[in-house]
Amino acid sequence: MESGRDISQRFIETCLLPVLRRELPGAIDRLAVAIVGIGSDVTGMDDEISRDHHWSPRANVMLAPREAGELLPRVAAALETAMPETFDGFPVHIDNTIMTGLCCCSIDRFFEYYLGTSALPKKNADWVALTEVDLGHVTSGLVVFDGPGELTARREYLAYYPDAVWRKRIADWCMYITGRDAPYNLHRTVKRGDTTTARLYRAAYCKQVMELCFALNRRYSTYTKWLNRSYRTLPRFAPDIAAMIDGIMESDDLAQNVRRMIEVNYALGDAIAELGLASPPLRKEFDDALTVLTLYDTAAEIYSTIPADLVRPSFNRTEMWERLVRDALFAPEDCHNKGRSGPLAEHLARAE
């Protein structure tokens, strides 16, 4: 099955760009066209299930903020009036609300919408304030055409965390997968016979191990729906870890899962040592109280290598998803608004 990203690239190259050249003579070099933002088709992971709603060939047409006043209305008019209704049998949807389908905006608005700010991070604290999944949304996908080069430059700047923030990211997750979420708390809930809570900890642990595998490869992790499928494609460490995680998730022996998690942690500690970030973890006999935590020493060693003001803050893990979904609920476009009560502005006016 051809991926949505490949279909969208063909749509841009064979349909959209020729239309823009014809309708906006002399202006094409002032535009960028990309396949970016939310949606499985951006990363090429969409399938037949993905296409049962809100799916169409997509293209984000963007221009520099200084061009927005004069050029943006012309671009919007061209998309509304000159584009075909279908491409290769797929409907072409105009969606300027949550920037899926075919849409246009300034580069600033795109980054503000998906990151909460259009400003590039300058300090370590600025990076920590951004959410990893959102960073993935603006840096994944494909830039098909970029006349000014500004969109490409911003994506390259945001491509991954600076070294100190990357180290903190790994140290934080070492702490999470050792003590807070498991195996420490999993072990204690199993001893208390609280199976439901134990399973919650098991799932949280496995999710964060997958996220850590992304960090070890210097890549942003994706959101939960695609996390399991995507981390298995990482080039380093993940293939070995994946088999161990599968064993944990498939086993109903929660007490045995605790010991398996400890082995996963040791394997991750070895991977971190291979990257030169910390010493190899010391294997110790199983401690029923779990007072010796497998990756705490690793975390402490990494924390000692980063600026002191970066140790205490927590990464922002609140995705922009909530705002995007709220906007989609009241989107004026038919593809997002079937059965809804109209655009958000109209809804708020009625509420008042």
Give this prediction's pTM: 0.90
Asked if 46 and 60 touch (Cβ cutoff 8 Å), the reply is no
> Which amino acid type is present at position 293?
L
DSSP symbols for 2-36: --HHHHHHHHIIIIIHHHHHHHSTTTGGGEEEEE-
Phi-psi region of 114 (alpha: psi -120 to 50; beta: other; left: phi over 0): alpha
Nearest to 57 by CA among 92, 13, 82: 92
> What is the helix (H) or strand (E) element at residue 41, kind and residue range?
none
User: Which three-class secondary structure state does DSSP give residue 122?
Assistant: coil
Per-residue pLDDT of the chain (352 residues; tens, 9 = 90+): 788 899 999 999 999 999 999 999 999 999 999 999 988 888 888 888 877 666 789 999 999 989 888 999 999 999 999 999 999 988 898 877 778 889 999 999 999 999 999 999 999 999 999 999 999 999 999 999 999 999 999 999 999 999 999 999 999 999 999 987 888 999 999 999 999 999 999 999 999 999 999 999 999 999 999 999 999 999 999 999 999 999 999 999 999 999 999 999 999 999 999 999 999 999 988 888 887 789 999 999 999 999 999 999 999 998 887 777 777 777 655 544 443 344 444 544 544 5
DSSP symbols for 282-328: PP----TT--S-TTHHHHHHHHTTS-GGGTSPPPP---THHHHHHHH
Q: Which two tokens stand for residue 151?
A: 């969109």
Angle between helices 163-175 and 296-303 (to 10 degrees): 160
In sequence order, what are the beta bridge partners of 106? 63
Nearest to 298 by CA among 154, 136, 129, 178: 178
Model confidence pLDDT, tens digit, residues 156-214: 999 999 999 999 999 999 999 998 788 899 999 999 999 999 999 999 999 999 999 99
User: Which three-class secondary structure state does DSSP give residue 145?
Assistant: strand
Angle between helices 163-175 and 254-274 (to 10 degrees): 160
